[in-house]
Amino acid sequence: MLQSTCDKACEILQKTNDGDDLDPQHLKLLEMAVNGFLNDEGEAAFEELYTNVQAGYQKPWFLGIEHLTRDHVGYVLWKGKRVEHYDSPWAYSAKAKKSAEEVARRCRILEARGEIPTTHNVIWTWPS
């Protein structure tokens, strides 16, 4: 028997901590799928998301920058630890990408020194 979009969405939510572990863009895709707002390309992306969740979902890197992710309230995380906050829709702009690349650079420097990156040492007390 074929699963409905809603059945697949429920399964995705169950396997991703009620969607908390999903990338914000994937959660939006799920919402649009349930509400019937997807075109053919969106439906294909939803099916790909469903397949990825079945195989063990890995949140994509934020703006393609290794070890950075972003949660649903806008916090940017380095290896799961909050280091910055970007509001939407700015978070997906070219300026945000440049800023995120700098955040990642600082995090790598701090880790090389044996320090744990935090918002405090990545943003607030970083030497100008």
* Each residue's pLDDT expressed in tens, for the chain with a length of 128 residues: 578 999 999 999 999 999 999 999 999 999 999 999 999 999 999 999 999 999 999 999 999 999 999 999 999 999 999 999 999 899 999 999 999 999 999 999 999 999 999 999 999 999 98
Check residue 67 and give its pLDDT: 98
Query: CB-based burial of residue 15 (10 Å sphere; 0-12 exposed, 13-18 middle, 19+ buried)?
Result: middle
> Residues 85, 40: one domain?
no
> Residues 79, 105: one domain?
yes
> Residues 71, 116: one domain?
yes
> Residues 33, 85: one domain?
no
Grouping H, G, I as helix, E, B as strand and the rest as coil, residue 9 is helix
Check residue 3 and give its pLDDT: 85
What is the domain extent for residue 28? 5-54
> Residues 25, 72: one domain?
no
Domain total for the chain? 2
Side-chain-side CA neighbours of 46 within 13 Å: the count stands at 26
> Residues 32, 11: one domain?
yes
| Model confidence, pTM | 0.85
Cα→Cα distances 89→46, 86, 92, Å: 21, 9, 6
In angstroms, rounded to a whole number, what is the distance separating the alpha carbons of residues 77 and 121?
14
